[in-house]
Structure 1
């Protein structure tokens, strides 16, 4: 049985407009707007993605930091947000023609071949974890009925932190992870603003990139309703300047849900203002669950002052639009 129909938009949901399909980013949105990124846009040439008489093309072939920042299509939707002190991709709610909720997948017309494989994976995960099926969902092209049986992956959603922990344990036990070849990792060094040593470590931790019966699939954690604590406007951010630091990860604050946050200790400032830096925040989904306690990291990003209802502090943000030559290295783990 599926859960009751919801109306609150969450990370990984999709929106359809006259221009194409957009993926919702995060859980905090300004009034009358939804922070989202264009994923598939209508085009006047033939592609692998066809629906209701229209061809669509992917906005990005990959999601490296520079790819996102330099995309003319994404930049078209940028609006400056005073609360976050940056430009965010977003659309007005009046432009939304249809909402696709990740946990309402049974309501949509889904690719039968891929859906069959999804059900097979779902049965394994539910049997191994004893989790009911309503804690699972679908995102990506399969959710919006734009998938291609040959080229599309299966993007599975799991709701809730504890449930994600259970799925992670099963995936590691089943040895379902996909580990790319060395030359593939080498090709991604520039894309993800890192180095070979760091990417090797990260890929060894990417339990959520998997393969089943020749089909790639991913696990995408999304918050349950009662895990969404923050409302728009409760936290204000002030960008200060570029900064470069070496630090040790003290504690994992948020490793599953975007954006990812880690508390830091032993912070050494190599360049930039000398402030007491408490956290690292990562704004790129590639780095989900990529760091762990006691990792020594070398980061260039932007120094920010965070003003929340409980406290004020400084963090370093990586994966941001403001720093063109940013990087994140794991020096020791």
Structure 2
């Protein structure tokens, strides 16, 4: 477990059978930064080994993740951590409390070797083959979410994929766009669904309907395969994770708003999404832990932002604006 670096969208089952989703790539040496995703519940819709689970988040948003902190503080305070690197309280799983660690690529390889146990796993195998063939990649796709933890319900569960390595991710992004344009094996989200998505998000985010419609048009990593909704999430490899815990420390200053120009968007495909920016007084990056803002803005785009100004001290000293992080206000990134 310790020979491979923890990665965004890995999963962990704790000794008390809670299921946590790993977040990002900055993890203490004795544990894993992660948020609580599923809790044991006799009435839960998800299940494994006779145990039922319920989701803790009706939708993924920093406000919902912070709601889980209250549950953990009352019942499982060992899963809250005052992080001396980020200087905030985060949810985490200490290594001493790990019952099982789930790796997306290992799980997909296991299902390939043994064969599908149900029709959702069969679709997973077929979809991964379609994507690999179209993108010209091999052994770079994994499966996350409920299939990874073996708690999925074929009657309603989605397929959530990871793609590992920067070059493979970019090939897959283009391949998926082509597949959705062809609309044969992979179907795009319908205009009606996009409009429903826009109305739903308009209630949660400080963005206009027009902003959200623009975002809906640019979202590349969702679609349908044989009638099942799926998503794809780029993930860094061990070699691409260049910051070790403690290399830098993060110090929050104040809430800021402003406009700037995107100068680099290569790391916007990951979580957190990182945009290099120019012509901003002291800020060199706008960084989002809210997935809504990933893979959106192109080099040269003028953007408006609201978030927390952070000073980074250490090996890579600079200032950045953080959007969607734990303890941050309801910020945004949008086109000017």
Structure 2 residue 51 is the aligned partner of structure 1 residue 31: no
How far, CA to CA, are the matches of 1:139 and 1:237 in structure 2? 29
What are the residue-to-residue correspondences of 1:231-246 with 2, within 5 Å? 231-246=244-259
Q: What is aligned with 2:304? A: 298
Structure 1 residue 214: Cα displacement: 0.7
Contact 2:198 2:212 in 1 (8 A): yes
How far, CA to CA, are the matches of 1:244 and 1:140 in structure 2? 34
Once the two structures are overlaid, the 10-residue window that deviates more, 163-172 or 294-303, is: 294-303
Of the three residues 81, 92, 95, the one matched with 1:93 is: 95
Measured against aligned partners, the alpha-carbon deviations of 1:87-135 in whole angstroms (never above 9, x if no partner) come to 2111211110111111111436875211100111112112222212x21
What are the residue-to-residue correspondences of 1:148-163 with 2, within 5 Å? 148-163=153-168
How far, CA to CA, are the matches of 1:184 and 1:126 in structure 2? 28
Once the two structures are overlaid, the 10-residue window that deviates more, 299-308 or 322-331, is: 322-331
Q: What is aligned with 2:135? A: 129
How far, CA to CA, are the matches of 1:36 and 1:325 in structure 2? 21
How far, CA to CA, are the matches of 2:251 and 2:329 in structure 1? 18
RMSD after superposition = 2.1
Structure 2 stretches lacking a partner, 5+ long: 181-186
Contact 1:243 1:300 in 2 (8 A): yes
Once the two structures are overlaid, the 10-residue window that deviates more, 225-234 or 67-76, is: 67-76
Structure 1 residue 330: Cα displacement: 2.1
Of the three residues 63, 66, 69, the one matched with 1:69 is: 66
Structure 2 residue 271 is the aligned partner of structure 1 residue 258: yes
How far, CA to CA, are the matches of 1:123 and 1:19 in structure 2? 32
Q: What is aligned with 2:320? A: 315
Structure 1 residue 10: Cα displacement: 1.7
Contact 1:66 1:191 in 2 (8 A): no
How far, CA to CA, are the matches of 2:4 and 2:205 in structure 1? 34
Q: Could you tell me the TM-score, scaled by structure 2's length?
A: 0.88
Structure 1 residue 24: Cα displacement: 1.0
Contact 2:44 2:54 in 1 (8 A): yes
* SS state at 2:132 partner: helix
Structure 1 residue 57: Cα displacement: 0.3
* SS state at 1:66 partner: helix
* SS state at 1:293 partner: coil
Measured against aligned partners, the alpha-carbon deviations of 1:209-231 in whole angstroms (never above 9, x if no partner) come to 11111111111111122111111
Structure 2 residue 114 is the aligned partner of structure 1 residue 103: no
Q: Could you tell me the TM-score, scaled by structure 1's length?
A: 0.88
Measured against aligned partners, the alpha-carbon deviations of 1:51-99 in whole angstroms (never above 9, x if no partner) come to 1121100010201232223333366533221211222111211110111
* SS state at 1:198 partner: helix
Measured against aligned partners, the alpha-carbon deviations of 1:278-316 in whole angstroms (never above 9, x if no partner) come to 11011122322122222222211111111241x422111
Of the three residues 326, 329, 335, the one matched with 1:330 is: 335
Q: What is aligned with 1:178? A: 189
User: Per the alignment, do residues 137 and 190 of structure 1 end up closer, same or farther by CA in structure 2, a change over 3 Å counting?
Assistant: same
Q: What is aligned with 2:287? A: 281
Of the three residues 114, 125, 133, the one matched with 1:119 is: 125
How far, CA to CA, are the matches of 2:297 and 2:168 in structure 1? 20
What are the residue-to-residue correspondences of 1:182-261 with 2, within 5 Å? 182-261=195-274
Structure 1 residue 205: Cα displacement: 1.5
* SS state at 1:307 partner: strand
